[in-house]
Amino acid sequence: MKFGDPTVDFGHFGYAIPALICAFLFQQTVNGTVVPPGDYPFFTTLLWDGEAMCGATLMTSSFLFTACHCLLIDPISPDFKYPHVLQKPEYITVEAGNDSTRPGRQKGTAKMTKVHPKCEGNASAVVYNYGLIELKEPFTLKPGYIEVVDFLSQKAAISQAIKKPDKLTCYSLEFELIRRGDTFWELGALLREDMMMKTGDWCMKTINNDLKSMKLHFDSNLQVCAERKIPFDECDKLDCGGPLMCSQNGEKLFIGLLSGLHHPYCGKGVPQVFARLDIAIHWMLEEVNPKPVTTTSKPEPTTTSTTSSTTSEFRFPLSRELLLIVFTPSFLVIIINT
C-alpha cells in the first residue's frame, strides 16, 4: 500500500485545549543545552493546528520522518496498535529554518501521513515507532537554513555503530518543555541532550532484569537505549520523538527515534529508549519510492501501513452489495450495485 490509501479517521479533536487552559507560564523544564536551529537545518518542528507537538527530520525536500505516535490522533495514549487512527493531514504543518529558537518561519503543510504497520505501544513497550510525512509543496533548500539528510544510505553504518557504541559521541535533539496550566506542555527552544548509547546486552539486562518490577520490555533487535548525562526521571512529559544521533568519522548517523518518554520508559533509573532507524529504512524506501500514488483503494491486511490523506472517498458496504446515493436537483436516486 502506498501513500493515498484510506485510513479510519474519527475527525479532528481540535487541540483547542490550550486555548481553554490558563496561559500563565509557571514552570519551565530544561534538560539539555539550547542550540541554534541553524546547526541542525534538517530538523523541523511538527505542529497541530499551530501548536508545536514534535520534531521531524527532512529526508528529501518533501518527505520527513518522525515518530509514529506524533501522527496519531491521541499522541499520548498509553495503548495504540494497528489499525491506527491518524490526525488529519490538513491540521499538520511543519516549520523549518533558523529564524527562531526552534525551527520555524518556513512552513509546509502535510499532504499525507503514514505510520509503520507494526507501530505499537502499551504499558511495557513502544516498538516500530516510525512515521512519514509528505508535504503538499517541497521546501526550498538552502545550506545552513533548510537541508536534507542522506539518511536512507546509512543502514550499514547505523547497524555497525549500534554494535560498538562505546567510542561514539551521541546526543538527542529535543525541545525545551514549557508548562502552561496544569496539563498543557508547550515546546520551547531546540535542545541538544548529550547521551551515552549502551550495548544491546546492557539495555536488556538493565530494563528486563534489573528493573523487572516495573514490567518493562526491551528488544535489542528493535531498540537501542542510552543514558542521559543529566538524569530525567519524570513521567507524563511530552515525547517529541526526536532523533538519537552519533558522530562517527565526521558523519552524523541517525541511530533511533525517541520512544516512550511519556510512558512507559520513564522513572528513576530507566534509560531512554529509541526505536532503531536502521530497521526502518527498508519500509521508508518502499513508501517513498516509487512516487506515492494519489488514488485510494480498499484497506489491506494488517501488514500494510496506515495512511491519512487530505482527500478521501467513503463507501459503506451492504454485505456484498454497494449502496450508492445520488442527489439531483429534484429527486433522490438510490442504486444498488450487486
Positive or negative, the Cα torsion across 142, 173, 108, 6? positive
User: According to the model, what pLDDT value does residue 320 have?
Assistant: 31
Decide if 4 is inside a domain: no
Greater confidence (8 vs 121) lies with 121
In this prediction, residue 90 has a pLDDT band, given cuts at 50, 70 and 90, of very high
Residue 335 is assigned to a structural domain of this protein: no
In degrees, rounded to 5, the angle at the alpha carbon of residue 116 between the alpha carbons of residues 119 and 299 is 110
Which band of pLDDT confidence, cut at 50, 70 and 90, is reported for residue 78? confident
Domain membership flag for residue 145:
yes
pLDDT at 206: 97
pLDDT at position 291: 55
Number of domains in the chain: 1
Summarised one tens digit per residue, pLDDT across range 140-152 is 999 999 999 999 9
Query: Residue 297 domain-assigned?
Result: no
pLDDT in tens, 92-104: 999 999 888 998 8
User: Is 79 inside a domain boundary?
Assistant: yes
In a domain, 316, yes or no: no
Which residue segment(s) compose the domain that 221 sits in?
Answer: 17-288
Is 329 contained in some domain?
no
Distance CA(102)–CA(117), nearest Å, equals 31
Residue 94 belongs to domain with CATH number: 2.40.10.10
- Does residue 138 fall inside a structural domain? yes
Radius of gyration of the chain (CA): 21
Note the pLDDT of residue 171: 97
Residue 99 grid cell:
529564524
Task: With a cut of 70, say whether residue 158 has pLDDT above it.
Answer: yes
Q: Mean pLDDT throughout 263-270?
A: 93
Query: Nearest Cα to 58, choosing from 2, 141, 171, 130?
Result: 141
